[in-house]
Chain A
Amino acid sequence: MSMNDFDHADPNPPMLSEADAGALDALVNAGFGAVRGPEAERAGRITSLLRVLDDAPVAVDRALVDAALARVVREQSADAGEAAREVELERSLSVDDEEALDAYVSAGFDLSRVPGALRERAARIDAMRGLVVETPTGLTGGQLLMERTAHAVAQLRRERPVEVPRGRVSGPRLADLIGVAAVLLLGASVFLPIAGAWTTRRERVSCAGNMASLAGAFGQYTQDYRGELPIASAWRARQAVGEERHWLGNTGKDPSRSNSANLFTLARAGYTRLGTMACSGNDHAVRSLPGDARDWQNLDQVSYSYYVMFGDERPDATAPGSTIVLADRSPVISRVLANQPAFPLVNSSNHDGSGQWALRLDGSAVFARSPVVNGDNIWLPANLEEVIGQIRREVAAGAKGGTVELPTRREAAERREQMLRGLEAPASARDVFLGP
């Protein structure tokens, strides 16, 4: 999408009808399995539509497909000459040079981070980059250009002021979220027993060893996968560890339905042993599973929470080294899924609530006494943090009408079920949100 399209953005993008939206919700709730009741017919149509993406042999609108293909061919023909030249060029870099370039890009264009075997070739690329970026251009008149530009923008602004977007919460309205946030806030009044004493030194040291081993496993994986972090399935799944669901009508079952399966990739692909991902502070941790396992069998077995990889943006090896990718298991998601009050400032239970180990992208680990690291709550996605912060400010300052009406427990449970369904994702590659 060209940035120029912003000039002609559709202010009224097409939306699903209420009936279709309900059918889609029912389909998602059923894990894309059979839907019964009044929404069954609509859900069936949606399934058929989605199956087109799966190349399943179903009847599709051939005229629509033909028209779409014809348009693609026309657009391709318009640039056929250039495309032909590009196809020729696409084969003009040797495999070794391609590998060096990929490593150089993955290293953030930092030659010192390129593996030794590729560094000599990458140095050539780095030198060429220096030619392009750093050779003085001899351009003059910079001050005048800046003045002229600033003046032009100011004049335009007088004619067309910026339409500042109103402060709003993305997704449901704030009123719909009060129930969830109130439950989370109310959790402060619930006595969450903390052992009081520090966890044993032996357990924390053991976990520190796990962090060191996992740092190496992550590092090796990112090298082998061109900077990508471990991922098993990009499907935006529920936080449903070990669950299997029929997927778009396939006869098989897809076990990779949880973010824990993404983390499990490190063990499944041989980068680490399962025992390295078992915290001694977790009584339900397992050190072995059947050989064909792709995920832990249930949430209790999971010791560490991993960066939720279902967002539109995912961090990779070039993200800031301070980005937290792993930590002792989140206490929030597990409690919410168990219909229990959850307080977002609670520490992981792995070390009796004293804190959690957090592994950063640069391979360092820190024992954080709070889940808020660099202003970011690692147990929550940014939009929910914003909502909670906003509600706290309103409650503190006096909300509209002077009071905030708290929902009943049933209303809160229903809203929580609507909101925290395991489909949440980080707002961006910089929003640390770990789960499950």
Chain B
Amino acid sequence: MSQLSDEALFERYRKGDNGALRTIIERHHTELLRFLYRLVGEQAGAEDVFQETFLQVHLSAASFDATRRFRPWLFTIAANKARDYLRRKGRRRTLELSAPVAGSSEGDQGGAYVDLMEVRVPAPDAALDAAETNRLVQRALDKLSPSLREVLLLAYFQRLSYAQVADELGIPLGTVKSRLHAAVAAFARAWGAVSSESGLTPDEAA
């Protein structure tokens, strides 16, 4: 069963094989939970949404288009459930537009643009505390509005093209592009702010 594709497994599940969905849950557990954790910002909430996602997968099983890929559909359901969770919690993220980008002296182009070349990201082999890095990443993500965070994470985790994200979210392709541009800029700016506040030294950044 572990050799079967997600689509084949789900078709088995639709026909009565409970074990097939169990395999799907195990297969996507790590990445989906991480995706949800990044989206909602806390483990308990991510776990609740994880469970709600698969309950919804069951409820929507009959309407799944077998010609489409299962994974983007799964993650889209998860993103929708996460959005519902955040609404119930009454969470509204505020965006700090004034946060400086680390390394920029007088702001860039009047403060209008982020220059990605000035973004400092820890090198993969940098000896940083994983827990601290995780905390900073989450703080940076929490600074984004929910819609920007969602499109950024869907794109990053799924590695979908603009057209695929547009299709999954049901929004125009141009909107996907502009949102992802904005999301990347916002995350870069937010990362610059939190890493600067935490005192990441230039030696620790790429």
A positions within 8 Å CB-CB of B: 1-4, 6-7, 9, 82, 85-86, 88-94, 97-98, 100-102, 105-106, 108-109, 120-121, 124-125, 127-133, 135-139, 141-142, 145-146, 148-150, 152-154, 156-157, 160, 162-165, 226-227, 313-314, 316, 318, 382, 427-428, 430-431
- CB-nearest residue of chain B to A382: B67
> Would B189 and A92 count as touching, CB distance under 8 A?
yes
Among the interface residues A131, A146, A165, A428, which one has the most CB atoms of the partner chain B within 10 A?
A: A131
Q: How far, in angstroms, from A109 to B156 measured CA to CA in the complex?
A: 8
Distance in Å from the Cβ of B115 to the closest Cβ of chain A? 6
> Would A105 and B60 count as touching, CB distance under 8 A?
no
Known: A86-B148, A94-B113, A316-B161. A128 touches B25 (CB 8 A): no
Distance in Å from the Cβ of B83 to the closest Cβ of chain A? 9
Across the interface, B182 reaches (CB within 8 A) one of A92, A141, A152, A427, namely A92
Given contacts A2-B170, A85-B145, A145-B33, could you give 13 more A-B pairs where the C-beta distance is less than 8 Å?
A4-B84, A89-B185, A90-B182, A91-B112, A92-B114, A92-B185, A93-B182, A97-B185, A102-B162, A137-B34, A138-B134, A153-B18, A318-B164
Q: How far, in angstroms, from A91 to B109 measured CA to CA in the complex?
A: 11
User: B67 to chain A: which residues have CB within 8 Å?
Assistant: 382, 427-428, 430-431
CB of B59 closer than 8 Å to a CB of A: yes
Known: A124-B121, A156-B55. A132 touches B161 (CB 8 A): no
- CB-nearest residue of chain B to A88: B97
Distance in Å from the Cβ of A86 to the closest Cβ of chain B? 6
B positions within 8 Å CB-CB of A: 13-16, 18, 21-22, 25-26, 29-30, 33-34, 37-38, 43, 46-47, 50-51, 54-63, 67-68, 73, 76-77, 80, 84, 95, 97, 109, 112-117, 119, 121-122, 124, 130-131, 133-134, 137, 141, 145, 147-148, 152-153, 155-157, 159, 161-164, 167, 170, 177-182, 184-189, 191, 206
> Would B191 and A131 count as touching, CB distance under 8 A?
yes
User: A316 to chain B: which residues have CB within 8 Å?
Assistant: 161, 163
Q: How far, in angstroms, from A428 to B54 measured CA to CA in the complex?
A: 25
Across the interface, A127 reaches (CB within 8 A) one of B56, B80, B112, B121, namely B121
Distance in Å from the Cβ of B5 to the closest Cβ of chain A? 12
> Would B134 and A137 count as touching, CB distance under 8 A?
yes
Q: How far, in angstroms, from A105 to B162 measured CA to CA in the complex?
A: 7
User: A1 to chain B: which residues have CB within 8 Å?
Assistant: 170
Q: How far, in angstroms, from A12 to B77 measured CA to CA in the complex?
A: 24
> Would B187 and A128 count as touching, CB distance under 8 A?
yes
Distance in Å from the Cβ of A35 to the closest Cβ of chain B? 33
Distance in Å from the Cβ of A186 to the closest Cβ of chain B? 29
> Would B134 and A97 count as touching, CB distance under 8 A?
no
Q: What would be 27 A-B contacts, judged by CB atoms less than 8 Å apart? A: A2-B80, A2-B170, A86-B147, A86-B182, A89-B186, A90-B182, A92-B182, A92-B186, A93-B182, A97-B116, A97-B184, A128-B184, A128-B188, A129-B156, A131-B133, A132-B153, A138-B134, A142-B30, A145-B51, A149-B51, A150-B22, A153-B18, A153-B58, A154-B18, A156-B58, A157-B18, A427-B67
